[in-house]
Chain A
């Protein structure tokens, strides 16, 4: 670094705000350049002066601040936001509770009825019934095999439950 440092460079260096490479460059430049070192000393002394001033001017927290703080807290009115929140609390809490109950209900087995279960039961029933019919020497084989085909189609979900049930019933008839 052959040029002189800018004051801004020196201030950032003084505050440790340069990246490591820049910091190293400034550091080595200050070793070699008397005018820049003098400038650095001046900036440092300003910082020293500010710290000395702050130290000399340091004050204790007046006791009345703490007393008034607690007094204010005990006697203050709630802020507008707090009043609004208090006002809205039941209006928000009741629907929220209702929503929670509904979500809990539908997430639990109680809230999942039975559509799937009923389908399986009905199909299972008709398949078992058809199988029994097939064993019987007196059974109408056409009707029974048709019933089995229909029940298989229904089980694979190709139709809705009422339609499937109706189709199976028709086949039985």
Chain B
């Protein structure tokens, strides 16, 4: 921060207009996506800002007719992944995916259906906590598939992995989510 920064060439009118429009149309969705990933406002703000700076720099590489949202979600995903590596995951207590099949795989329906209760009533806090306990990749695949309603193919392009990986991550993440919600309900009942 102490080093004076040299301004780069000012944006052209076209470049500025592109960025303005991108922020106006997709800023909120990008920020919410970043917030759900990071689970905190400060990191979500930084992530959103960095993503739009990437958009600003690479605006000519955007192909009209393709999905801008998919593009910026991919940018956010990559930035988040880089940030996690830089921080060495110390902000997240990841649950190894390998644990999921042994612990939860093949489990039949729960005896109770706490999810419906959360939908009707105290939804946010337990689900938010459960989401925080997923690994970043699991949380992201759930968000993209269930909240953003992307196809497995689109998710694989955003996350940079195979469709098979998307499928298995989603299956495990949902099984884990259900298990975590059940656990929280049991704790509340005690």
Contacts and interface: CB of A to CB of B under 8 A. Distances in A.
A19 interface: no
A48 interface: yes
B7 A74 contact: yes
A35 B146 CA distance: 23
Given A46-B115, A61-B28, A54 B53 contact: no
A78 B8 CA distance: 6
B159 interface: no
B100 interface: no
Interface residues of A, number: 44
A56 interface: yes
A61 B30 CA distance: 9
Contacts of A117: none
B111 to A, nearest CB: 11
A170 to B, nearest CB: 67
Contacts of B115: 42, 45-46, 48-49
Contacts of B11: 73
B152 to A, nearest CB: 5
B127 A73 contact: no
A129 B11 CA distance: 72
A62 B147 contact: no
Contacts of B81: none
Residue from A54, A64, A78 having most chain B Cβ neighbours under 10 A: A54
Contacts of B118: 49
Interface string A28-39: 000000010011
Contacts of A8: 167, 171
Interface of B is mostly: helix
Contacts, number: 129
A73 B5 CA distance: 11
A38 to B, nearest CB: 6
Given A45-B116, A50-B127, A75-B7, A59 B32 contact: yes
A159 B80 CA distance: 71
B13 interface: no
Contacts of B52: 69
A43 interface: yes
B36 interface: yes
Given A11-B174, A46-B115, A66-B27, A53 B32 contact: no
B171 A7 contact: yes
A76 B45 contact: no
Nearest to A78: B8
Interface in B101-138: 106-110, 113, 115-116, 118-119, 123-124, 127-128, 131
Nearest to A15: B145
Contacts of A17: 151-152, 167
Interface in A49-82: 49-54, 56-62, 64-66, 68-69, 72-79, 82
11 contacts: A8-B171, A17-B167, A42-B109, A42-B115, A52-B123, A53-B131, A59-B31, A61-B30, A73-B19, A75-B5, A77-B5
